[in-house]
Amino acid sequence: MDWLDKAHVPRSVVDALTASICIIDRDGVIRAENGAWQNFSMRNRGAGSYVGANYLEICGKASDGGCETALLFGTAIRDVLAGACDRFETEYPCHSPDEQRWFLARVTPFKAESGPGNRLSGAVITHQDITGTKLLQHELKRLADTDELTRLKNRRCLFDHIQSSAANLASGSTLALCLLDLDNFKEINDTSGHDAGDLVIRAAAERILLATSDMQSVIVARMGGDEFAVLLEVKRPWRVVPLVEKIFGLLSEPYSISNETVQSAASIGIAFYPLDAESPQSLLKAADLALYRAKHEGRSRYMFYTTALREEVAQRKALFNEARAGIARAEFETYFQPIVSLKDKALVGLEALVRWQHPEKGLLAPGQFLSVLNDRNLGTAVSQAVLLQVIQHLSKWRRDQLPVTRVSVNLTTDQLQNANFVEFLCRETAALGIEPDLIKLEITENVVVGEDTEQVCSVLTRLRSAGFLISLDDFGTGYASLTHMSQFPLDEIKIDMSFVRELSASRKARAVVRSVTHLAHELGLSVVAEGIEDAETEGIVTALGCDHGQGYVFGRPQPASVIPELIRQWDYASLAPRALPASNLRSSSK
């Protein structure tokens, strides 16, 4: 029979198709082919035309040479010719030293239109070049798996590798995951710009790759922002330490960015599968907990995951949930501690201090829920609640005709970065008839040296212009310098109790307090000494020139209910002398 005459398919139509097409008979012999098939044959160093050759034998020779696709395709052709299969297709690579190519091979039944029963006459075989599609798929996968900035693997790809590595982990081996976070990266972005930050990220990626270049099967990924990950298989967990030390050392070296030297370091958290985690998902969480601990402990260090970390996080999560409920139920209460004039022991003010009336644990001091206060959102919510309570208490004391008493209240960074905070505070105090100068707003050192200092300074200036007083709390515990006393609109500084408690034994501590007090007075600021717990310390801070004192020697924090009586009956008789002899102030050093 004529396998390709006009009664079947016009040759011009078949030759116009880009797919390579041939028709075989029931024995596998090629009876017809189109132009694309001939071109495909010549391109692959074939004879050009394969008409008369047995395609099943061609598949057999290829499978004998180790080509599994040829064996699979030959079997499928026999199934189609036997009527056991209506259609089969498979993709296969056909690479050469010069190029990479992929094809889609398909076999379908060929039935003659004439003849009894329209019986099966053979099969149609096509080979379609799908190289463009495969290259596009590979590029899309590369983009989906790759971090654009560093060309490292991204977070999604890393998780895929964690899953596959865990599934194929060799017996006796351990999968180590190291999460790395660049220290002070936000400061680099803020001071040198985001372009410089991107250069630091690229340089850090290159250093991590350099540290791992002599190791096999190591996956380096960028998790996002300034966080990276290194995944590797080790025989023993301790064998990851030399690599971590090497990475830590490289990332601690300064970066030369646009004629500028930038200093950074890294915090690293390390966890192991299956030692620390039962699943690939929990491995990532365990390493993240270790990283959090490394950052919490002061940064620039590496730490291993322990079960205690998970328990700590679970407790912290439970505490945060309780705190959110406590805020909604108004469980956070304001206590007040006296602030006294060191000159005549007159009551000059009160500091508002928060307590948590926990429904199950009873009254909690701040040290028992410090993580709540340090949390940005929860800490601000608690601070806002205390501020509103202070305004309400001041209003009530005024209605009760108590002597005017100024109250100091701590603020968080978020409150000062809120563009509406000044208007909010002015509105709330005005609504209850409270003069602004009855409220002294305390800020800590981390506020004046932290993020957006210009914005904070602007808000403080507006608050002071509105009549509120500003106090710098805990001076000496952070990074605030003496110059900050002149740069910010302050009325007062409070010397931290860590200095005050050293005064009786440390000449250096006394010298610092004396110098700070003198400079503050030159700038027109008053000075409060915190943490005065005995008469001797009271005498020392008085002799050093401090204006006001606060501490247990004058009174412990009290609930608002007892403050009216405290104000009415205030009569403190100091047990300390007005000033200790000068020789005593210089008698010891530390």
Whether the full predicted model's pTM is greater than 0.85, yes or no, is no
pLDDT digits (tens, 9 = 90+) for 361-406: 999 999 999 989 988 899 999 999 999 999 999 999 999 999 888 9
Same fold, 11-135 and 334-585: no
Domain locations in the chain as residue ranges: 11-135, 146-305, 334-585
Sign of CA dihedral 55, 56, 57, 59: positive
Long-range contacts of 159-167 (CB under 8 A, 24+ apart): 159/280, 159/284, 161/219, 161/221, 161/231, 162/231, 162/273, 162/280, 162/283, 162/284, 163/280, 165/219, 165/231, 165/233, 166/273, 166/274, 166/279, 166/280, 166/283
Query: Helix axis angle, 155-167 relative to 280-296, nearest 10°?
Result: 120
Asked if 348 contacts 340 with a C-beta cutoff of 8 angstroms, the reply is yes
* pLDDT for residue 478 is more than 60: no
* pLDDT for residue 172 is more than 90: no
What integer pLDDT is reported at residue 4 of this predicted model?
A: 57
Under CATH, what is the fold of the domain 334-585?
TIM Barrel (3.20.20)
Question: Distance between CA atoms of 45 and 360, rounded to whole angstroms?
Answer: 85
pLDDT, average across residues 123-151: 88
pLDDT, average across residues 164-171: 89
What integer pLDDT is reported at residue 483 of this predicted model?
A: 62
| Pairing between β-strand 548-549 and β-strand 332-341 as defined by DSSP bridges | antiparallel
Mean pLDDT for the chain overall = 87
Tokens of 520: 């503050």
CATH number among 3.60.15.10, 3.30.450.20, 3.30.465.10, 3.40.470.10, domain 11-135 = 3.30.450.20
pLDDT digits (tens, 9 = 90+) for 62-85: 888 778 888 899 999 999 999 888
pLDDT digits (tens, 9 = 90+) for 490-521: 999 999 888 899 999 999 989 989 999 999 99
Asked if 71 contacts 58 with a C-beta cutoff of 8 angstroms, the reply is no
What integer pLDDT is reported at residue 542 of this predicted model?
A: 96
Question: Distance between CA atoms of 406 and 394, rounded to whole angstroms?
Answer: 9
Report CA Rg, the chain: 39
What integer pLDDT is reported at residue 582 of this predicted model?
A: 35
355 beta partners: 333
Considering the segment(s) 146-305 as one domain, its CATH architecture is 2-Layer Sandwich (3.30)
| Pairing between β-strand 266-273 and β-strand 260-262 as defined by DSSP bridges | unpaired
- Percent of the chain clearing pLDDT 90 (strictly above): 56
